[in-house]
Structure formats: C-alpha cells, structure tokens
Amino acid sequence: MTARDPTLQHHMDQLYREHHSWLSGFLQRRLGCSHSAADLVQDTYLRLLTNGKLPPAEHSRGYLTRIAKGLMIDLYRRRRIESAYLEELCRQPEAMHPSPEVRAQTVEALMTIDRLLQGLPVNVRRALLMRRLDGMSYREIAEELEVSVSSVEKYVARALQSCLQAALEMEQ
C-alpha cells in the first residue's frame, strides 16, 4: 500500500480520529509540554504514513505507543546533544559563534554521528571514542577495556569502516 492508496488513507484517517486525543494526552503527560507533544503526535502519524504499515485495530495503541516512545527517546537525545553543543559554544568567544543556520546544521550532523555511534557495539564505540577523543593509545584502551591490543585494533577499524560507509551512503 502507498500513501495514495484509498484503503490506506481510510484506515489512517480512522486511526487518527480514534487515537489522536489519547496519544496527545499520553505524550503531554510524559513531556510536560503541549507543543512538544503535538509535534511528536504528528511525527508518529507521519512515521506510519511513510512506512505504509498500519497495525490491526486491536493493537493500534500499542503500536502508536512504541513509535511515540522511540520518538521521545530521539527528542531527549537531541536535546541533550544540542544542550552540550550550546554549552560548548558559550565557552567560545562570541566572535567565534556560528550563525543560527550553521548551528542547526551542526546539531543535525552531531545527531547523525550519535545515531551511528549508538548502532555500534559498546566496546567498538568506546574504543573509537577513547582513541579519537581522548587520544589514548591502543595499549591504554586495551587495559581500560580489559581486552587485547589486537582486539582494540579491530574495534577501531570496525568503527572507522562504519563511519566511512555511513559517509558514503550520505553522499548518495
């Protein structure tokens, strides 16, 4: 089914009418902000439209809840990243502050990097961050992770390969 499919449109309309108020209240109670809740309600239904799969009627609320909770996690992660970035900007001289457009692009890039890193196994992610951000040697990382140096080399190589693949996919 596609977004233009009349059957999908009918089911989506019915799902929206039956559950919009409930989902809005659910999100508002958790977020404490009607504006953020309204945004996530719309994002939840947009996610349904883009994947073109609607749940059976008896599972609608569970399905909507699962999507909405994932979007809340994304929202909190974005807020955390944006806050850390803005804190770092405050430490810089005002002349070094980027334009609002560049700030928004930077936050989007940081979100992309965060999603990539979250998709890596824990030791692979930790090894890459210790190597690149903390400047630790392979031996130091191996001691910290309690693995061999060759394992650390493989972890860092795997992480860099994932980063390269993600960069190539973004160019397409």
Distance CA 65, CA 48 (A): 12
Question: Is residue 1 domain-shared with residue 78, that is, in the same domain?
Answer: yes
The Cα diameter of the chain in Å comes to: 61
Q: Is the pTM of this model over 0.85?
A: no
pLDDT exceeds cutoff 80 at 4: no
Domain boundary among 34, 62, 97: 97
The model's pLDDT over 92-128, given as tens digits with 9 standing for 90+, comes to 898 889 999 999 999 988 888 888 898 999 999 999 9
Distance CA 158, CA 74 (A): 25
Question: Is residue 75 domain-shared with residue 152, that is, in the same domain?
Answer: no
**Total domain count, the chain:** 2
Question: Is residue 158 domain-shared with residue 75, that is, in the same domain?
Answer: no
Which residue has tokens 């994002």? 43
- The whole-chain average pLDDT of the chain stands at 90
Whether residue 108 is contained in a domain is answered as: no
Distance CA 43, CA 68 (A): 8
Question: Is residue 89 domain-shared with residue 129, that is, in the same domain?
Answer: no
Domain that holds residue 129: 119-172
